[in-house]
Amino acid sequence: MAYVVTEPCVGCKITYCAASCPVEAFREGKDYLVIDPDICINCNDCLRECPVNAIFPEDEVPVIWKDWIVLNAKESKTLPMINDLKKPLLDKNCNIKEL
């Protein structure tokens, strides 16, 4: 079971999670990240690094964001890999618990 990036990432795109991933499972969209479920090893590193609570184990994704399971699987096949820190977007909709 892979981890899934969900809607709270949109507009924030804080890349601590991608930089902590030991297997390069993260992919970068214009204003969000996704995880390739075929590469994710469920190590929990990304979960601990997400300051907006956007990452969940697949079986714990809240009902309102269940469509993000398919979105991660689909988008991860076409988006470029990201494994380093980049300047976050931090738009007005970001709800950061700490940074």
> Given this model, what pLDDT does residue 97 score?
64
> Given this model, what pLDDT does residue 99 score?
52
> Given this model, what pLDDT does residue 83 score?
96
- Domain ranges across the chain: 3-76
> Given this model, what pLDDT does residue 93 score?
73
**Is residue 98 predicted with pLDDT exceeding 60?**
no
* Separation in Å, CA 85 to CA 4, 13, 15, 17: 19, 10, 5, 9
**Is residue 92 predicted with pLDDT exceeding 80?**
no
> Given this model, what pLDDT does residue 95 score?
77
What kind of fold does domain 3-76 have according to CATH? Alpha-Beta Plaits (3.30.70)
CB 62 within 8 A of CB 56: yes
- pTM for the predicted model, two decimal places: 0.93
**Is residue 91 predicted with pLDDT exceeding 60?**
yes
Read off the pLDDT of residues 24-74 as tens digits, 9 standing for 90 and up: 999 999 999 999 999 999 999 999 999 999 999 999 999 999 999 999 999
CA–CA gap between residue 4 and residue 56 (Å, rounded): 5
